[in-house]
Amino acid sequence: MSSWITVIGVGADGLDGLTSSTRDHVACADLLVGGERHQAMVPDSDLKAGAERLTWSCGIASAMDEIANWRGKSVVVLASGDPLYFGAGSTLARHFGAAEINVIPYPGAFSLDCARMVWPIPDATTMTVHGRAHAGLNLHIRPGARIVALSWNGESPAKLANILRDRGFGPSTIVVFSDMGTVEEQRFDGTAENWPHATVPDLNTVCIDCTPGPDANWWPRTPGLPEEAFEHDSQITKREVRAATLAALAPQPGELLWDVGAGCGSVSVEWLRSTDGTRAIAIERHEDRLKYIETNASTLGVPRLEIVAGGAPSALSDLATPDAIFIGGGVSNADILKACWERLAGGGRMVANAVTLEAQQQLMNFGASHDATFTRMSVARSGAVGELTTLRPMMDVLQLYVRKNDT
């Protein structure tokens, strides 16, 4: 089927900023889709007789089923700026496929922001908190980072300033542009530690030039963060073993990880931090540890981590098919190994770590019938002995790695 959905990027000046050929798409639409602000840009007189409108209230995703009912008709979707940059076009493409969509872009907020700041676009980190947790900023905070963020509302700049201040990046410069491209455009300046604007106009973007203070606290995205980066009750995969575990899991964009018996969520959090575009589900049955997972996902910048309360294998039945599975807890239960293996996608990887002899025996039994490979890891850390120093060994870890055939 040829394209029947046309996604049009618009600026703050509405249809006045579009070419005549682009406006013709609007004039010929059987259905005009957009938020309230977009719909207000188009008077009824600009639509053909009998054309209908569909206004979404909480994002384009809520309108997918209704849009699908118009397949074969001319559907025009209005979106802000570049529709494929954190925009409606991306959501539509995932749902309907590229063959059914025609996209007409407009200079987006990121381009306009970088132009006003005179920042080369490739040097800036772009993100959005529009409909997403502000804690996602934590992933990108580092000395010298230049961050451009799409806001959720007029309170977003103050919330982002609070996050920067809490991480010891109070000296960071913040510049907010609102209503870009209109006569109402405004600029708001300040620093994170002394941000003077409790609220600004809702339609705004935030430019951050990260500058650390003397108490700055930030972590690299390289796997193997120290245990003190996480809140935990000592049930945590140690950093040396965790780094090796992430190397074995080998995250790739678009892949989904199951972190079974997640503990404090250290493996799933680092999976998400290490590679953009990944997804993860942390499965944990202990209530206290569920709180640790939520806290760690937020403070380390991956609030998109999905958390499932429950024990394996029963909690796994309704979850999406994983591309990779890590089993950090419950390895001594053979039913968990079997259930995880059955649900793993073809070509997927399963990694399990065991410390006790009973758990290691289960891994050996499972691995013998699945062509698995094993790695034994011994780690020792330096520690004081009186006034001297020694290496104190930690418990050995047996790691199972097995890849499922593509069939």
pLDDT by residue (tens digit) across 127-140?
A: 999 989 999 999 99
The Cα–Cα gap between 46 and 138 comes to 44
Q: Report pLDDT digits (tens) over 225-245.
A: 999 999 999 889 999 999 999
- In the chain, ranges of CATH 3.40.1010.10 domains: 5-107
Reply yes or no on whether the pLDDT at 57 is more than 80.
no
What was the pLDDT predicted at 15?
A: 87
Reply yes or no on whether the pLDDT at 249 is more than 60.
yes
Mean pLDDT of 54-67: 87
Q: Which fold has domain 110-209?
A: 3.30.950
What was the pLDDT predicted at 182?
A: 84
Mean pLDDT of 38-66: 90
Q: What percent of the chain has pLDDT over 90?
A: 87
At a CB cut-off of 8 Å and minimum separation 6, what does 314 contact? none
Mean pLDDT of 178-182: 88
Instruction: Give the mean pLDDT of the chain.
Output: 94
CATH classification code of 227-403: 3.40.50.150
Q: Report pLDDT digits (tens) over 337-353.
A: 999 999 999 999 999 99
Please give, one letter per residue, the 3-state secondary structure of the chain.
CCCCEEEEEEECCEHHHCCHHHHHHHHCCCEEEECHHHHHCCCHHHCCCCCEEEECCCCHHHHHHHHHCCCCCCEEEEEECCCCCCCHHHHHHHHHCHHHEEEECCCCHHHHHHHHHCCCHHHCEEEECCCCCHHHHHHCCCCCCEEEEECCCCCHHHHHHHHHHHCCCCCCEEEEEECCCCCCCEEEEEECCCCCCCCCCCCEEEEEECCCCCCCCCCCCCCCCCHHHCCCCCCCCCHHHHHHHHHHHCCCCCCEEEEECCCCCHHHHHHHHHCCCCEEEEEECCHHHHHHHHHHHHHCCCCCCEEEECCCCHHHCCCCCCCEEEECCCCCCHHHHHHHHHHCCCCCEEEEEECCHHHHHHHHHHHHCCCCEEEEECCEEEEEECCEEEEEECCCEEEEEEECCCC
What was the pLDDT predicted at 210?
A: 98
Reply yes or no on whether the pLDDT at 1 is more than 60.
no
Q: Report pLDDT digits (tens) over 66-84.
A: 999 999 999 999 998 889 9
Q: Tell me the pTM.
A: 0.88
Mean pLDDT of 355-379: 95
Beta bridge pairs of residue 260: 283, 327
What was the pLDDT predicted at 181?
A: 83
Mean pLDDT of 1-5: 84
Reply yes or no on whether the pLDDT at 59 is more than 80.
no
What was the pLDDT predicted at 274?
A: 96
- In the chain, ranges of CATH 3.30.950.10 domains: 110-209
What was the pLDDT predicted at 374?
A: 97
The Cα–Cα gap between 271 and 248 comes to 11
Reply yes or no on whether the pLDDT at 205 is more than 70.
yes
Mean pLDDT of 47-54: 94
CATH classification code of 5-107: 3.40.1010.10
The Cα–Cα gap between 169 and 161 comes to 9
Biggest distance spanned by C-alpha atoms of the chain: 89
Reply yes or no on whether the pLDDT at 407 is more than 70.
no
The Cα–Cα gap between 25 and 261 comes to 52
Reply yes or no on whether the pLDDT at 4 is more than 90.
yes
Reply yes or no on whether the pLDDT at 372 is more than 70.
yes
